[in-house]
Copies of this chain bind each other. A is one copy, B any other.
Amino acid sequence: MSTILDVCKLANVSKATVSRVINGTGQVKESTREKVFSAMQSLGYRPNRLAQALATNKTHTIGLVVSDFDGIHFGLLLKQAAASAEFAKKQLIVTDGHNDPDYEYEVIMQLEAQCDAVVLYSRTLTDDHIQRLHQQLTIPIVVINRDLPEQLFHSVSFQQEDAIKLMMGHLLDNGHRQIACITGHMMNPTGIARLNGYKYSLAQLGVNFDEKLVKHGVYDMKSGYQACKELINDGVSFTAIIAFNDCMALGALRALTEAGIQVPEQVSIIGIDNDPVSEFFTPRLTTVKLPIADMTKQAVELAITLCDETKATHSYQYKGQLIERESVMPVRSVLSS
């Protein structure tokens, strides 16, 4: 691995000159520029980015921290982040917080010297953690999917509660009143906001909230499947299921199918995410599209902007969009199921 000194020797110039042609700064005579270029060429020289970063205090890297690589939206998020970063010629360094708040916190602090900005998609860090991070960090941080009461930092968020209301509205419009609910984790803001949406929609129509209709899942198919099985075994009656994501909705679909219950004839199902697989199940799943790609693009682009110019904190809000397919239909009679 050749260094700038090797280039100097081969081209008979000083480090300063080589540095100038590398970065296109200052004035360099055409002939020497060519000398340097061909020297770099024949040596296969590539500037050491670590050294550059140390010298300039600019890494041209943005950090992406996620609580868990397993997360439902992680794939799409990463893909979009990578695309946006590359477009701006920035490197992306991705880190997993292993669902451990302390570890995640430490990881972000460590990133400070390695990135010009960080994008955080956390489901374990408390609002307080994020607040502290924002204060201690000398680099800007953009938070995805978190709504703090005050807009104290850059954020790109999603209207969780509204999305559920949208789903509930669709179900209620179709005459459903006995609506079972399969939630996600209940110890983070997303889960809580969504459950609030569920309760709110019920209350709006004067439907009593029934604890027995609520089961907690963990956002994967298996938990959706099991939650639905419990629902069936409990013998409670319901005409529709609202799941806090598509995977669990699909798991529930499987459980109903196995139990010989027709979807949507006997029970309607609605999910949220617009997971690509949802379209390939039978029946095709009705869902709410969650604009993860757009949000990620926004967040990364904001982070990139913040690398160079310091801007007032800005926050963006996104909302869901109903995608009607085949898994919801009007209730036939209140007695069904």
* Chain A residues in the interface with B (C-beta under 8 A): 1, 44, 46, 48-51, 53-54, 59, 69-70, 74-75, 78-79, 82, 86, 91-96, 98, 109-110, 112-114, 136, 138, 220-221, 225, 250-251, 253-254, 257, 276-277, 279-282
A325 to chain B, nearest CB (A): 13
In the bound complex, do residue B221 and residue A280 qualify as a contact, i.e. CB atoms below 8 Å apart? yes
A-B contact pairs, 17 of them (CB 8 A): A1-B138, A46-B109, A46-B113, A48-B54, A49-B110, A49-B114, A50-B50, A50-B53, A50-B54, A50-B59, A54-B54, A69-B78, A69-B79, A69-B82, A70-B79, A86-B96, A221-B280
Smallest Cβ-Cβ distance to A69: which chain B residue: B79
Q: Please indicate the chain B residues that have their CB under 8 angstroms from the CB of A75 in the complex.
A: 69-70, 74-75
A205 to chain B, nearest CB (A): 32
Q: Please indicate the chain B residues that have their CB under 8 angstroms from the CB of A110 in the complex.
A: 46, 49
In the bound complex, do residue A1 and residue B280 qualify as a contact, i.e. CB atoms below 8 Å apart? no
Q: Please indicate the chain B residues that have their CB under 8 angstroms from the CB of A59 in the complex.
A: 50
Copies of this chain, tallied across the complex: 2
Q: How far is the CA of A28 from the CA of B94 in the complex (A)?
A: 36
Name the one of B86, B95, B277, B280 contacting A92, with C-beta atoms under 8 angstroms: B95
Smallest Cβ-Cβ distance to A139: which chain B residue: B1
Q: How far is the CA of A77 from the CA of B253 in the complex (A)?
A: 28
Q: Please indicate the chain B residues that have their CB under 8 angstroms from the CB of A221 in the complex.
A: 276-277, 279-280
In the bound complex, do residue A98 and residue B113 qualify as a contact, i.e. CB atoms below 8 Å apart? no
A187 to chain B, nearest CB (A): 22
Q: How far is the CA of A113 from the CA of B49 in the complex (A)?
A: 7
